[in-house]
Structure 1
Amino acid sequence: MSDLPEFTIRVDQNPYLPAGGREMHAVITVEAAGAAGAPPPPSGTEAAEIILVDTSGSMSYAGKMAAAKRAATAALNVLRDGVHFAVVAGANQPRMIYPTGERLVRVSDKTRKGALSQVKRLEAAGGTAIGSWLRLADQLLEPYENAVRHVILLTDGKNQHETTEDLDSALAQCSGKFVCDARGVGTDWEVAELRKISSALLGTFLDVPDPHDLEDDFREMTQASMEKRVADVALRLWTPQDARLRFLKQMVPTVEDLTGRGKASGKQTGDFPIGAWGAEEREYHLCVEVPAGDVGRQMRAAWVKLIVPGTPERTLASGNVLAEWTDDEARSTQINGRVALHTGQQELAAAVQEGLEARRKGDEDTATARLGRAVVLAAEVGNEQIAGLLDRVVDVIDPETGTVRLKKGVAKADEMSLDTRSVRTVRTRQGDPGTGG
């Protein structure tokens, strides 16, 4: 464990509440040292990687199968020597492409060459049953519980050949076992489905409308996985007696609600899994409802620790969220800038998703109102990419009031990009996070 990066926690908040006030907000920034130009993980960092490629019949169209082969090749070429790996084809049932037999092998010149040879032979046939693919990945990764476990999942279609219950059951089985980054190529897959998969498995998901973009994307995902140095990290949250957690949401790099994922770990503490880490920075928006206090009273509203579970358990960093009651209105009404920004990001993601859903259902009034609100919020949080994507879906009549008109004949790829990227966050020029990706 001595090769772990150095972790720090920073808390941004306005600790002042009015007399009787109860709701305390804070932004928790977690950083692992070396975010800029960090050295690669030591060779002793165990990792297990599975490349899971949809080979259903629809992949034979629009150059998707050829692009998937190039993408898998790119991923294989950046795997570190010694990493355990496999390539799996997904259709009605998953099928081992490399190695033979349901197992992982270590990367070497020989095994890499063997895998590259088998990838060239991939062919498209059959249906889509993603839950069964994930169950095989879970089985393959089971012997490597101390390794950084990562799956790349590529699909081009809906999960048509198993039930929703089958997929949900598979996600419940796999949750906490590995991180899965999901990619949808083309425009025939379901945004909500991939969002559900990546959310349950603590990964990312993204649309890839042009198959030619898969190669670079797979290379980047695999490289990021190879740079992870610790497999499982959790945020441990302590709250005072009679306090209530309103929510805990990851905000950077993506908007992800973690509130329901906490597991009791002691008196007044809960642990929230946040996956594998390398040299990186993430931000979380915490809201705690505390017992009302009198003017002058001070208290700890929450205590946040970063831990590596196991025996022995390891504490990596900690930070305090404070509360102080005041009769100074100027102090108690001031909203912390980062809290305000993240509140705007959450509302922006919701407005985009609700607006697009209303548009799909033919509810033009709701769609116009929500997407108009998204236009206003995109400007407020300084997100030019989401603003640009909104411009492909609505005609903006007045950006300040959010007066818009729905466009006719919107390209499906543009709608999917806006939906998919509504939860992704990037750094703005001011160094603050904004929504997009």
Structure 2
Amino acid sequence: MAYTAEAFQNEFLALGATEVNAIVTVTSSGAADGRRTAGATEIIIVDCSGSMQAEGRMVAARQAAKAAVGCIDDGVRFAIVAGVSTAQQLFPAPGQLAVASPRTRADAVRAIDRLQANGGTAMGAWLKLAHQLFAQRPGDIQHAILLTDGENGEYKGYLDSVLREIGGSFTCDCRGVGTNWQVAELRKIATAMLGTADIVAHPRDLTAAFTQMMTTAMGKTSADVQLKIWTPVNSTIRLVKQVEPQMVDLTGKRTPDGPRAGRYPLGAWGAESRDYQICVDVPAGAAGDEMLAARVSVVEGEEALAQCLVRAVWTEDAALSARIDRQVAHYTGQAELADVIQAGIEARKAGDDHTATLKFGRAAQLAHASGNTATEQLLATVVEIEDAATGTVRLRRRVEAADEMALDTRSTKTVRVGRAR
């Protein structure tokens, strides 16, 4: 696999300034022959709580799980977990992993037919069982799908403690079906597990969602890629955040690597490109001083795959120091977009229509300016956009719960400069 890393920044700082910002674009070509550099393990977790019987969700979940199994490549280890008030391994035998083949996939499909909606919701227990199964295959590309239709029923704080214990040890993509689950809860799991969270409003769309997630997972060819950042003496990393394709704050996931370096997990990779924002505090310099603010490396194990440099140059020329790099400015706006959408949703739920209108108006303005047409379209389900350029909107009197949840879950999805999706 070939990687590149490129830094975008305005390296010129005003006298007295100490904050250095850069966007680092990491791109991987993927494996030339499509072969993985490590093994792979997949775990499918299906909520089997009693509420899954409603609206045909259990029937749809069975079909979706079967479709996902059908996408698993030969040789990949996998398991199916039934999520109730405890975690129950449905296939293969408890504590074991199956090796994907035509026979084991057929066996798994027959096991999935036994899934019944009868029990509670215990996401912490589900994730712990997945972690135990993944522990059998250290070094594998490890990915899980978690489906739920409700709110976690474990005692307060248990899920948080599980996420602190296992966070980042595997990737978990979370999907909520219907509208009775909590966006913040699935977002918390997805953030801790370097995955995604999204709504599947209608059970009929579950098969497509599961197929997409498993197909994407099968495209990963490298297991554990990290961003290693070195900074000079008296410098401090303030922020490391994935900003494309979605916002994920990695700052708190740092593990030390020597006296002045740290590593940040990027998860599994295939042929893809992602953008990261890095903010470093450095000692102020005099006019004309230059320094290396950060050395950013893409690493897997001890192998450096790509590298780029973040610089700082102090100047008395206000025209130079006042420029904001286009990439940095764009993603600052995308971060604000996510924040104001979530603030608008909270204000609307609290009955504060004035604040909600202001926040959604600003969101419409930011989405329009950045070319984030997907978010602009989602906003239009919650407000009537009269003038996106000026942020003039009116709250809709009636808003479908699924539309509001879709706006909330997808508020952290971003677009690159000049590229709408």
Please give the range of the TM-score, normalised by the shorter of the 2 chains. Answer: over 0.9
1:61 maps to 2:54: yes
1:6 maps to 2:2: yes
Which of 88, 101, 104 is the matching residue for 2:81? 88
Residues in 2 aligned to 1:356 and 1:9: alpha-carbon distance in whole angstroms: 36
Which of 35, 43, 52 is the matching residue for 2:45? 52
1:403 maps to 2:396: no
Residues in 2 aligned to 1:63 and 1:41: alpha-carbon distance in whole angstroms: 38
Residues in 1 aligned to 2:207 and 2:412: alpha-carbon distance in whole angstroms: 23
Which of 193, 197, 218 is the matching residue for 2:189? 197
The answer (yes or no) to whether the contact 1:145–1:177 under 8 Å persists in 2 is no
Q: Report the Cα offset of residue 290 of structure 1.
A: 1.3
Residues in 2 aligned to 1:427 and 1:176: alpha-carbon distance in whole angstroms: 25
Q: 1:240 aligns to what? A: 232
Query: What SS class does the counterpart of residue 55 from structure 2 fall into?
Result: coil
Which digits, 9 at most, give the CA deviation of each residue in 1:102-144, with x for residues without a partner? 2111112221110011112211111111100011101111110
Query: Which amino acid in 2 is paired with 1:237?
Result: I
Q: 2:294 aligns to what? A: 302
Which of 26, 29, 41 is the matching residue for 1:30? 26
Residues in 2 aligned to 1:267 and 1:114: alpha-carbon distance in whole angstroms: 51
Q: 1:349 aligns to what? A: 338
Query: Which consecutive unaligned segments of at least 5 residues does structure 1 have?
Result: none
**What pairs with 1:21-420 in structure 2 (closer than 5 Å)?**
21-34=17-30, 39-42=33-36, 45-160=38-153, 162-309=154-301, 313-420=302-409
Which digits, 9 at most, give the CA deviation of each residue in 1:192-242, with x for residues without a partner? 000000000011111110111111111121111112122112111111222
Query: What SS class does the counterpart of residue 294 from structure 2 fall into?
Result: strand
Q: Report the Cα offset of residue 39 of structure 1.
A: 4.3
The answer (yes or no) to whether the contact 2:38–2:223 under 8 Å persists in 1 is no
Residues in 2 aligned to 1:361 and 1:11: alpha-carbon distance in whole angstroms: 42
Residues in 2 aligned to 1:106 and 1:222: alpha-carbon distance in whole angstroms: 16
Which digits, 9 at most, give the CA deviation of each residue in 1:338-387, with x for residues without a partner? 11110100000000001101111222222122111111111111111211
Which digits, 9 at most, give the CA deviation of each residue in 1:381-421, with x for residues without a partner? 11112111111111234433323222212110010000011
Residues in 2 aligned to 1:176 and 1:340: alpha-carbon distance in whole angstroms: 29
Query: What SS class does the counterpart of residue 231 from structure 1 fall into?
Result: strand
Query: Which amino acid in 2 is paired with 1:78?
Result: C
Query: What SS class does the counterpart of residue 388 from structure 1 fall into?
Result: helix
Q: 2:412 aligns to what? A: 423
Residues in 2 aligned to 1:14 and 1:271: alpha-carbon distance in whole angstroms: 24
The answer (yes or no) to whether the contact 2:225–2:265 under 8 Å persists in 1 is yes
**RMSD across aligned positions (CA):** 1.6
Query: Which amino acid in 1 is paired with 2:3?
Result: F
Q: Report the Cα offset of residue 45 of structure 1.
A: 3.3
Query: What SS class does the counterpart of residue 62 from structure 1 fall into?
Result: helix
Query: What SS class does the counterpart of residue 370 from structure 1 fall into?
Result: helix
Query: What SS class does the counterpart of residue 267 from structure 2 fall into?
Result: strand
Give the fraction of aligned pairs with identical amino acids, expressed as a percent: 47
Residues in 2 aligned to 1:115 and 1:423: alpha-carbon distance in whole angstroms: 34
Query: Which amino acid in 1 is paired with 2:281?
Result: E
The answer (yes or no) to whether the contact 2:124–2:158 under 8 Å persists in 1 is yes
Paired residue total: 421
Residues in 2 aligned to 1:423 and 1:176: alpha-carbon distance in whole angstroms: 19
Query: What SS class does the counterpart of residue 80 from structure 1 fall into?
Result: coil
Query: Which consecutive unaligned segments of at least 5 residues does structure 2 have?
Result: none
Give the TM-score, by structure 1 length. Answer: 0.93
Which digits, 9 at most, give the CA deviation of each residue in 1:176-201, with x for residues without a partner? 32110101111110000000000000
Query: What SS class does the counterpart of residue 136 from structure 2 fall into?
Result: helix
More divergent stretch after superposition (325-334 vs 77-86): 325-334
Q: Report the Cα offset of residue 314 of structure 1.
A: 1.5
Query: Which amino acid in 2 is paired with 1:259?
Result: T
Q: Report the Cα offset of residue 34 of structure 1.
A: 4.3
Query: What SS class does the counterpart of residue 182 from structure 1 fall into?
Result: strand
Query: Which amino acid in 2 is paired with 1:248?
Result: V
Query: What SS class does the counterpart of residue 220 from structure 1 fall into?
Result: helix
Residues in 2 aligned to 1:100 and 1:34: alpha-carbon distance in whole angstroms: 34
Query: Which amino acid in 1 is paired with 2:231?
Result: T
Query: What SS class does the counterpart of residue 257 from structure 2 fall into?
Result: strand
The answer (yes or no) to whether the contact 2:30–2:221 under 8 Å persists in 1 is no
Residues in 2 aligned to 1:123 and 1:6: alpha-carbon distance in whole angstroms: 45
Query: Which amino acid in 1 is paired with 2:10?
Result: N
Q: 1:78 to 1:318 in 2, by over 3 A?
A: same
Q: Report the Cα offset of residue 258 of structure 1.
A: 1.0
Query: Which amino acid in 2 is paired with 1:194?
Result: L
